[in-house]
Structure 1
Amino acid sequence: MKPTPANLPPVLKRLGELIGPDLERTNAIILEQLNSQVELIPKLGAHIIESGGKRLRPVLTLLSAKLFGYTGRDDALLAAVVEFIHTATLLHDDVVDRSDTRRGRATANSVWGSKAPILVGDYLFSRSFQILVAHADLNVLRIIADACAVISEGEVMQLVATNDLTTTEEHYLEVVRRKTATLFTAAAQIGAVLNHRSRAEESALAEYGTLLGIAYQVVDDALDYSASNEALGKNVGDDFQEGKITLPVIHAYRHGTPEERAFWSDCLEKREFPEGALQRAIQLVRERGSLDYTLARAKTFADEAKAQLAILPDTPEREAMAMLADFSVARSY
């Protein structure tokens, strides 16, 4: 079950207390900056931006800025840029993956076809850099530009590894680091840059973001074999149907019997799905302890993320960052 105001997790309630107005300002900037004379751009962009995501990346930017007592207004603007870039990657991802739903709603490509989301995603990337050039310093511009390049590399690495059961855990984690965690890294790092903090503090926030992003994605990959459609906001088993080699699969395949390995090969490499294939895959990742292993790995990354916070000021924002790390592995959606 997704959260409602009555059952919000403590971390989300705490975030509302700490940065609620800042996040509202960010959302207003997002809608304002989506403005374009080309009607489809704001319409399609708003479709995904208003679809109820957790806004974790802009939240990290706002928290990291406020952690050091930032009182300016550029934090919300840069948080909006971070969300624009995230939205652009989602638009492209859904086209590549041919996804029908995201966050419980129809994807943009299922509504408008594949061409429009790609072009609007490109617009969001371009709009992000227009905003950065106009308002941000060169250090922030460099962080975001580097992040976009690394994210693209991760996308290509994941594409190459699709349907390849020789993919190792190390390669999988590198894809996750590049494709998902990189924007978490940039989002957290920006707050230190805005406040002109020490290189050590900036590095600690960047590493916290990286580790948090990895933990979050690893849990996402576990949920694809364990959550409900309603809770997950997309179809359970999408990764399986798309041939994605995620950590639960890597572990189950490595520890499976010859018969089980043949099953994985038939489904993920040969793209042959017998009746009940998804249910069989879910059964195997449970029987082989692959879900437990995956969640344990995620917890390790979350714990390492929290450890990075030790050198930062002891503030309510730092406490909220630690809570976010715990939430990343305890969530069910």
Structure 2
Amino acid sequence: MDIDTITKPHERLADLLTGEMGAVNELIRTRMASEHAPRIPEVTAHLVEAGGKRLRPMLTLAAARLFGYMGDHHVRLAATVEFIHTATLLHDDVVDESAQRRGRPTANLLWDNKSSVLVGDYLFSRSFQLMVETGSLRVLDILANASATIAEGEVLQMTAATDLGTDEAIYLQVVRGKTAALFSAATEVGGVIAGASEEQVKALHDYGDALGIAFQIADDLLDYQGDSKATGKNIGDDFRERKLTLPVIKAVAQATPDEHAFWERTIGRGRQEEGDLDHALSLMGKYGTLDATRADAFGWAVKAKEALAPLPDHEIRALLRDLADYVVSRLN
């Protein structure tokens, strides 16, 4: 059997970018060091070395490779992207009061909330130092905007998560902030540093945006119908944490007065009882919202693939296309 048929696209991408990812990881290790505060590398290493696909920095490297970039600024940008991502995870776990990430205890649980917040701040600062070293104001603009959008998305999610007035447009705004903004920026800066045309830079942005949205919608759907061993989450965690995600938003939009009262009690006020998750799932089944959410995820994956059209015919482009299919293949 051909190896391409048995390996996942992000693994094939990692294989193709092995040397550059090695340089990124070395730069991350160097820059997360601190002469005066040993807790910084302790906390950072716990998260950085916990695994994860390193998808975002790989997108930066892939976009630069797609245009034949020969310098080393893409390595700095890939490390920047990973630092921003790690900083947001540290902050998210504090906000969400999480106890586990990637199957391991979170930093806030092992140390404390103060350490997680302050080390996250340190990583954001490091990321800006790395950006500046590229000497590109355009790159600085893209990543600074992404950082602001991520923070804005998190604040919006905090206020919208338990508000039954949250509709699909607000949900999409939250997803663009918390997930898609960094995907699109990661891909876009790789093209910018490599001298891609304006049309091609926009294509990279649009690809990353659609890929990030497909990725997050799939994640939210798997919370209600995924395999706990594969996702690392228990079925219904979002429901128990009172998070209004797309399957519930679609059910609330069609709810009868009695059903609306159920959603208001369980999500709006957080008064949950035995059997409520099963009832929530039955309401989603009644209105077909899990299937509708699945269709939305696949629709965004198609948009991601369509966005690739202006890019050079290259094995990287084919892998990016496969990656769009892969992020929703978990739903099959």
TM-score range, shorter chain: over 0.9
Q: State the match for 2:70 in structure 1.
A: 71
Residue matched to 1:95: 94
| Aligned with 1:19 (options 17, 20, 23) | 17
Which aligned pairs between 1:112-261 and structure 2 lie closer than 5 A? 112-261=111-260
- Which residue matches 1:80? 79
Q: 1:221 touches 1:247 (CA, 8 Å); kept in 2?
A: yes
CA contact (8 A) 1:95 1:114 kept: yes
Give 2:310's aligned amino acid: I
Aligned counterpart, 2:33: 35
Asked whether the 8 Å contact 2:67–2:195 carries over to 1, the reply is no
The C-alpha deviation readout for 1:190-220, integer Å capped at 9, x for no partner, is: 1111111211111110111111111111111
Deviation track 1:163-216 (CA, whole Å, cap 9, x = no partner) reads 111111011111111221111111000111111121111111011111111111
Tell me: CA distance 1:94–1:262, structure 2 relative to 1, closer, same or farther (3 Å): same
Moved more, 22-31 or 244-253: 22-31
Q: Provide the C-alpha distance between the structure 2 equivalents of 1:9 and 1:238, rounded to a whole number of angstroms.
A: 30
Shift of the alpha carbon at 1:139? 1.3
Aligned to 2:225, the other structure's residue is in SS state coil
Give how far 1:258 is off: 3.5
Q: For residues 43-76 of structure 1, give each alpha carbon's deviation from its aligned partner in whole angstroms, at most 9, with x where no partner exists.
A: 1011111111111111110110101111222212
CA distance in 1, matches of 2:229, 2:331: 11
Distance across 1 between alignment mates of 2:259 and 2:234: 24
C-alpha displacement of 1:318? 0.3
List structure 1 runs of 4+ shifted beyond 6 angstroms. Answer: none
Deviations 1:263-288 (A, max 9, x none): 22111011101013233333432343
- Asked whether the equivalents of residues 132 and 141 of structure 1 are also in contact (C-alpha less than 8 Å), the reply is yes
Instruction: Give the structure 1 partner of residue 264 of structure 2.
Output: 265
SS of equivalent residue, structure 2 residue 279: helix
Q: Distance in 2 between matches of 1:279 and 1:43?
A: 41
| Contact kept? 1:104, 1:230, Cα under 8 Å | no
Q: Indicate how the Cα distance of structure 1 residues 280 and 100 shifts in structure 2: closer, same or farther if over 3 A, else same.
A: farther
Q: Which runs of 5+ in 1 are unaligned?
A: none
Measured at CA, do residues 280 and 32 of structure 1 come closer, stay the same or move farther in structure 2, by a change above 3 Å?
farther
Q: How many residues align?
A: 328
Distance 1:233 1:254 in 2: 29
Secondary structure of the 1:225 match is: helix
What TM-score, normalized by structure 1, do the two folds share? 0.93
User: What secondary structure is seen at the aligned counterpart in 2 of 1:69?
Assistant: coil
- CA drift of 1:161 comes to 0.5
**Are the structure 2 counterparts of residues 115 and 259 from structure 1 closer, same or farther at C-alpha, using a change threshold of 3 Å?**
same
CA distance in 1, matches of 2:87, 2:291: 32
Q: In 2, distance between residues paired with 1:45 and 1:118?
A: 11
Higher mean C-alpha displacement, 319-328 vs 107-116: 107-116
Q: Aligned pair in 2 of structure 1 residues 241, 22: CA closer, same or farther (>3 Å)?
A: same
Structure 1 residues 237 and 72: alpha-carbon distance in aligned structure 2, compared to 1, 3 A threshold:
same
For 1:12, give the aligned amino acid.
H
Contact 2:8 2:326 survives alignment (8 Å): no
CA contact (8 A) 1:101 1:235 kept: no
Amino acid at match of 2:97: R
The structural deviation recorded for 1:110 is 1.6
**Match of 2:55?**
56
* More moved, 215-224 vs 256-265: 256-265
Partner of 2:107: 108
Work out the CA distance in 1 between the residues paired with 2:113 and 2:304.
37
The code of the aligned residue for 2:74 comes to D
- Residues 234 and 120 of structure 1: CA distance in aligned 2, closer, same or farther (over 3 Å): farther
Following the alignment from structure 2 to structure 1, what is the Cα–Cα distance between the partners of residues 224 and 181? 25
Same amino acid, percent of matched pairs? 50
State the TM-score, normalizing by the size of structure 2: 0.94
Gaps of 5+ in 2: none
In 2, Cα distance between equivalents of 1:288 and 1:48: 39
